[in-house]
Amino acid sequence: IAKVFYTHAGCTLVALNPFQPIPHLYSLDVMREYHSAPQPQVNTLKLPHIFIVAEEAYRNVQGQVEPMNQSLVVSGESGAGKTWTSRCLMKYYATVATSSQKCQDTVEKIERRVLDSNPVMEAFGNACTLRNSNSSRFGKYIQLQLNGSQLLVGASVQTYLLEKTRVAFQAPNERNFHIFYQMMKGATEKQRLEWMLPLEQDFAWLPHAEKTLEEDCLQETVEAMINLGIDEGKRTQIFRILAGLLQLGNVDFSPASEEAQSCDLDGHSKGKTAYLLQVPLDELQSCLTVRTLRAGKQSVLKPCTQSECGVRRDCLAKVIYAQLFDWLVTFINNSMCADNPTWCNFIGLLDVYGFECFLLNNLEQLCINYANEKLQQHFVAHYLKAQQEEYVTEGLQWSFIRYQDNQGCLDLIEGSPSSIFSLLNEECRLNRASDAKQFRVRLQKELSDNASISWDKLSKEPHFTVAHYADKVSYQIEGMMEKNKDPVPPEIISLLQKSQDSLLHSLFADGDRESEGSRGHSKVVTVVSKFKNSLESLMKILHSTTPHYTRCIKPNPDCRPLTFKKEEV
């Protein structure tokens, strides 16, 4: 059966998603078989399999082949099986990279924690989308750290670009992050009271709660949190904050009767939100409905419009959720990390979102597709090098073949002095209301020499089209500059700094998040700058390792078991 789902294409392993559990293909016995085979990759009994890639990387570390550190790069579109494959690789190493003497208590604990990091990160970072009922809404790179005897002694994880907008906005037929549904479905009576989540209450930010998914299991998440060392006190705080966000989603605004007054907050949810987030209710109200304008030493209070209030409410939810997610990742890292001197090599697993092209694409897709361009460049460079080395060892005559180089596209997106990113950042620094049409003119003026950008003359919406290596994608400009700034009103930060909840308070205590216009023209660290920096560090790590590529394929668009459509495969 292995033959059906895996095959090699050059230096890449191609994995077809069966959309059905195939237990005997991944059992402990199968892992041990691949691990103990003298040459897993050439043994004809051992057909192409993800464990061959895993074992090859493991032996490279062991064999002291330079460079010794390895990277397993898993790619593919949403629902293709990247997360599943990464989990499978982690299980493999947690099984084979362990001492047979079970007295090694600490090592055993580490393996458990490495595996337990998955359900926790998936509960908080995955959601049901149109394409995948367990879609990762963030990218991750996990380093599995090995000691001199090749044993797994620790791990660390780096995450990229969590789709935090999902907490306050879910596209039609999509859901919020799993954790909220887990709480709604798995809470005990006592927890329901504590979290103020009565069964009969509906939540605006919890669409499609009637859908039953296997991911909706609170028990599994809580057990994993316990194993990672998140104590009861912290868990209580985390769930209370999340419940506060659900109540916040039910807060609506009605316009004030007089123009000069601020909007009113409707219903009972505002009180519950303030209670769960442990912030003063009057300050919650004012921070959502009134803006403080500073002019020199004076400040003027200006009521927000109804729609501005909604934006501030959503912003409050997003900033809390994003900080909480980062806190969890840091906690998980501390829980899994090896003492520095004990590890000497690592195997890295990269699971990033695949190339995206929707009806409407904006800054999120631009960042994701930019990451894919970077990885494609890395892949092509490595693939050609491997091919040339093969020719040399076989003594073949060869001449350099021109290949599709995506440097032009990367220059367009991230290059200097002028690129989409640099112009977006410049626009953000100007501290003025951005105009999509003007920005389009600017792009056209500065970048039209680059062959990778074009404009559909018939389209009325301001946009630009990028010819990526995978496909052409049109990006809408409306809203892009604001997304890049990702402003957080200073009133929101100061509200959260007043929270009586020690966890929530600590997330904002040092005010390390840049807030909008707090000091005249504050130094804004934009979304694209942050993403570019984190991607550059990732590429540095990848370049210092031996890469192994796995390309996952979604063989039919409807996630049907054992269905392989020719045009998809």
Ligand X SMILES: Nc1ncnc2c1ncn2[C@@H]1O[C@H](COP(=O)(O)OP(=O)(O)OP(=O)(O)O)[C@@H](O)[C@H]1O
Is 273 annotated among the ligand-binding residues?
A: no
- Binding of ligand X at residue 84 (CB under 6 A)? yes
**Catalytic residue check, 356:** yes
Q: Could you confirm whether 354 is annotated as catalytic?
A: yes
Which among 136, 149, 511 is positioned nearest to 352, based on CA atoms?
Answer: 136
- Any known ligand binding at 76? yes
Q: Is 180 left (phi over 0), alpha (psi -120 to 50) or beta?
A: alpha
271 annotated binding-site participant: no
Question: 132 catalytic, yes or no?
Answer: yes
Of the candidates 550, 527, 564, the one whose C-alpha atom is nearest the C-alpha of residue 160 is 527
Residue number, 18 or 229, with CB nearest to ligand X: 18
Query: Which run of H or of E encompasses 299?
Result: strand 298-303
Flag whether 563 is marked binding: no
Cα–Cα distance, 177 to 179 (Å, whole number): 6
Nearer to ligand X, 368 or 453 (CB): 368
Residue 121 in the binding site for ligand X (CB under 6 A): no
**Contact flags string 535-554 toward ligand X, x per CB under 6 A:** -----------------x--
Nearer to ligand X, 392 or 562 (CB): 562
375 binds ligand X, rule: CB under 6 A? no
Contact between 361 and ligand X (CB under 6 A)?
Answer: no
Active site residue 511: no
Secondary structure of residue 2 in the 3-state scheme: helix
The residue behind tokens 């490495």 is 114
Task: Write the binding mask 50 to 79 for ligand X: x where contact by CB under 6 A, - elsewhere.
Answer: --------------------------x-xx
Total residues contacting ligand X by CB under 6 A comes to: 21
Give Cα 217 to chain centroid, integer Å: 21
Extract the tokens encoding 388: 């040339």
DSSP structural state of residue 10? T
Q: Smallest gap, in angstroms, from Cβ of residue 289 to ligand X? A: 37
Do 47 and 3 meet the contact criterion of CB atoms below 8 Å apart?
Answer: yes
Task: List, in order, residues 6 or more apart from 101 with CB less than 8 Å away.
Answer: none
Q: What are the φ/ψ torsions at residue 155 (nearest 5 degrees)? A: -155, 155
Q: Is the dihedral of CA 295, 301, 304, 310 positive or negative?
A: positive
- Of 60, 71, 135, 262, the one binding ligand X (CB under 6 A) is 135
Return the closest-CA partner of residue 201 out of 249, 145, 143, 237. Answer: 249
Q: Report the alpha-carbon distance of residue 8 to residue 153 in Å, rounded.
A: 31
Give every CB contact of residue 42 below 8 A, 6+ residues apart in sequence.
none
Q: Which residues have C-beta within 8 Å of that of residue 455, sequence separation ≥ 6? A: 440, 444, 463, 464, 465
Residue 17 interacts with ligand X (CB under 6 A): yes or no: yes
Residue 481 is classified by DSSP as H
Q: Which is nearer to ligand X, 19 or 383 (CB)?
A: 19
Strand partners, 474: 465
Annotated catalytic residue within 75, 86, 129, 135:
135
Binding of ligand X at residue 7 (CB under 6 A)?
Answer: no
Closest CB to ligand X among residues 83, 372? 83
Find out whether 305 is annotated in a ligand binding site: no
Give min distance, CB of 366 to ligand X, in A.
Answer: 17
132 binds ligand X, rule: CB under 6 A: yes
Closest approach of Cβ 538 to ligand X, in Å?
17
Taking CB under 6 A as the rule, does residue 1 contact ligand X? no
Helix or strand run (H / E) with residue 465: strand 463-467
Is the bond preceding 40 in cis, omega lying within 30 degrees of 0? no
Q: Which of 4, 9, 22, 441 binds ligand X (CB under 6 A)?
A: 22
Q: In the complex, what is the shortest distance from the CB of residue 271 to ligand X, in angstroms, rounded to a whole number? A: 37
Strands 264-265 and 253-254, how do they pair?
Answer: antiparallel
Catalytic residue among 118, 136, 345, 515: 136
Nearest partner of 291 among 268, 269, 315, 275, judged by Cα = 315
Using the rule CB under 6 A, give the single segment among 129-137, 139-147, 186-194, 222-230 that binds ligand X: 129-137
- The CA distance from 472 to 475, in Å, is 10
- Would you say 79 is a known binding-site residue? yes
How far is Cα 384 from Cα 325, in angstroms, rounded to an integer? 39
| Total residues found in the chain within this entry | 569
User: Which one, 312 or 374, has the nearer CB to ligand X?
Assistant: 374
- Residue from 7, 11, 18, 563 touching ligand X (CB under 6 A): that is 18
Give least dist CB 142 to ligand X, A: 14
Closer residue to ligand X, CB minimum distance, 83 or 422:
83
Catalytic residue, candidates 17, 69, 75, 83: 83
The residue from 82, 175, 318, 548 that contacts ligand X (CB under 6 A) is 82
**Residue 483 in marked binding region:** no
Is 374 annotated for ligand binding? no
Which residues contribute to the annotated binding site for ATP? 76-83
Residues assigned a catalytic role = 78-79, 83, 132, 135-136, 354, 356
Contact positions vs ligand X (CB under 6 A): 17-22, 76, 78-84, 132, 134-136, 353-354, 552
Which residues contribute to the annotated binding site? 76-83
